[in-house]
Chain A
């Protein structure tokens, strides 16, 4: 068990480009979450998967954002036509069905800078 892995750690992109981030949860965790954290703020919920099903999406997740979790394993978060306001740390977390009692295990995040 190597924890929750996120790739890349850092991404710099030009405005208007598309970016994709990957998250590999703890292998036995069937729940996966994406959060966004901007400077000086706490993380904000974006979306949640149970296995391969995306069960909840925040209103923060505009049409330019899409998340997938094929086969209920790793997940990807894609941002199309990036804007400067998308610059943030994107955090992935996972939990098991019963382990939710113990909070989530977070990854180290992907820091996105849109220039």
Chain B
């Protein structure tokens, strides 16, 4: 079974600065997807960025980028020019790309609570 580990329960960043959230995962599969989701307080979870494991290029979405290290099974999220609206819980998630049982499940880490200091 796949596992996702987020080792930082809480992080803080000064507004306009850069912060990196860590995520490691364990899998025996070679083809999969990785995601970062943001969950603001009392609001729905939204997709921030995704990475396909067969792509070597790191994904980027505006101020959000990832550092995907497949061999190390590491998938960190970098938030540049942090804004007050970035304050939220951030979850790293894994999904298998293979068809079959369990392939449609997202496996989440425990999350990192990000605070943005004005």
A residues touching B (Cβ–Cβ < 8 Å)? 3-4, 31, 33, 35, 40-45, 48, 55-56, 58, 91, 100-109
Q: Does the CB pair B109–A48 fall under 8 Å?
A: no
| A106 surroundings in chain B (CB, below 8 A) | 37, 44-46
Known: A42-B4, A42-B91, A56-B102. 14 other contacts (CB 8 A): A3-B44, A42-B93, A44-B108, A45-B107, A55-B104, A56-B101, A56-B104, A58-B105, A102-B47, A103-B35, A103-B47, A103-B106, A104-B47, A108-B44
What separation, in Å, do the CA atoms of A100 and B99 have in the docked complex? 12
How many contacting A-B pairs (Cβ < 8 A)? 60
B110 / chain A contacts, CB cutoff of 8 Å: 40-42
Residues on the B chain within 8 Å of A108, using CB:
42-44
Task: Determine the interface band of chain B, counting residues with CB < 8 A from chain A.
Answer: 20 to 34
Give bound CA distance, A33 to B110, whole Å.
Answer: 19
B91 touches A43 (CB 8 A): yes
Contact of A42 with B109 in the complex, beta carbons under 8 Å: yes
A102 touches B105 (CB 8 A): no
How far is it, in angstroms, between the C-alpha of A106 and the C-alpha of B111 when the chains are bound? 16
Q: Which residues of A contact B4 (CB under 8 A)?
A: 42
> What's the Cα separation between A108 and B45 when bound, in Å?
7
